[in-house]
Amino acid sequence: MESVEDVIKKAKKLYTRKGYFERFFELCINNPGQTYKAVYHMLESEYIMIFGQNRYDNYESFKSSKSQFLKSN
């Protein structure tokens, strides 16, 4: 079980676009056998647990945002 401090740190990270995608790539590294879509669902589950709603409506909108994020960095 995560401590309150850990949940707060994760919430602060996931709240930002940069932090959200950093967490996505962390999950990709930690789950090498999973597809990007599966990792997206893992990340959205984490996001829902903290914020009570999805960050992205669907995988397609996530992919579009990820592409824009990667182009800008």
Q: Which residues of 33-71 are buried (b: 16+ CB within 10 A; e: fewer)?
A: eeeeeebbebbbebbeeeeeeebbeeeeebeeebeeeee
Residue 32 confidence class, pLDDT cut points 50, 70, 90: very high
pLDDT of residue 45: 97
- Does pLDDT of 47 surpass 90? yes
Are the CB atoms for 47 and 10 separated by under 8 Å? no
| Percent with pLDDT over 70 in the chain | 100
Query: Where does the pLDDT of residue 72 fall: very low under 50, low under 70, confident under 90, or very high at 90 and above?
Result: very high
